[in-house]
């Protein structure tokens, strides 16, 4: 199995665990689903693998997956239906997406991506590949949000980046 495929499998497992270690503060809104918007390269992404596994719950919410292959379609969907969290596949995490990340941050939306550049552009959580190993980086500024809270074990097993 190729390294990229191995890492996509590992990312889908890490995403699952991330959602099990996340608490949302907006339970009074009456919302039962969270819209997970993935900007992905193809249908073999880690979030596709996660979506195919089973229903994915996060703090009592069901994740509803929406996949986009270009940023314009994501922007259009988000304008009309409002994404609750975003995932950026490898290729998109390395593009200049600072305006989209800044908008998500202003709206207290969770952003997940790949690589150190994703964090430096303002993303919340990033999968960083070190050889054949994956690490989870968390942007320090995202730990102060009131919209969502990560469990202590999840934070302690991640790298906090300023």
Has residue 15 been placed in a domain?
A: no
Has residue 13 been placed in a domain?
A: no
Helix/strand/coil for 160? strand
* Residue 31 pLDDT grade (very low, low, confident, very high; cuts 50, 70, 90): confident
pTM, 2 dp: 0.90
Token code pair at residue 6? 């191995």
CATH number at residue 55: 3.40.640.10
Buried b (16+ CB within 10 A) or exposed e, 100-135: bbeebbeeebbbbbbbebbbebbbbbbbbbeeeebe
Largest distance between two CA atoms of the chain: 45
**pLDDT tens digits along 104-154:** 888 889 999 999 999 988 999 999 998 888 999 999 888 877 788 889 999
DSSP readout, 96-110? Answer: --HHHHHHHHHTT-E
Has residue 65 been placed in a domain?
A: yes
> Structurally, how many domains does the chain consist of?
1
Question: Which has more confidence, 30 or 107?
Answer: 107
Has residue 48 been placed in a domain?
A: yes
Question: Domain span at residue 38?
Answer: 31-152
């Amino acid at each position: 199995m190729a390294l990229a495929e191995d890492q996509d499998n590992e990312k889908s497992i890490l995403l699952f665990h991330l959602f099990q270690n996340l608490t949302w503060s907006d339970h009074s809104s009456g919302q039962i689903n969270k819209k997970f918007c993935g900007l992905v390269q193809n249908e073999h992404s880690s979030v596709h693998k996660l979506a195919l596994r089973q229903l994915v719950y996060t703090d009592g919410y069901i994740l509803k997956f929406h996949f986009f292959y270009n940023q314009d379609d994501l922007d259009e969907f988000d304008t009309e239906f409002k994404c609750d969290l975003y995932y950026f596949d490898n290729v998109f995490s390395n593009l200049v997406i600072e305006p989209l990340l800044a908008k998500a941050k202003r709206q207290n939306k969770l952003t997940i991506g790949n690589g150190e550049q994703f964090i430096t552009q303002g993303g919340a959580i990033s999968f960083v590949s070190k050889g054949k190993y994956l690490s989870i980086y968390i942007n320090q500024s995202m730990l102060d949000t009131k919209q969502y809270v990560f469990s202590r074990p999840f934070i302690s097993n991640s790298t906090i980046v300023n």
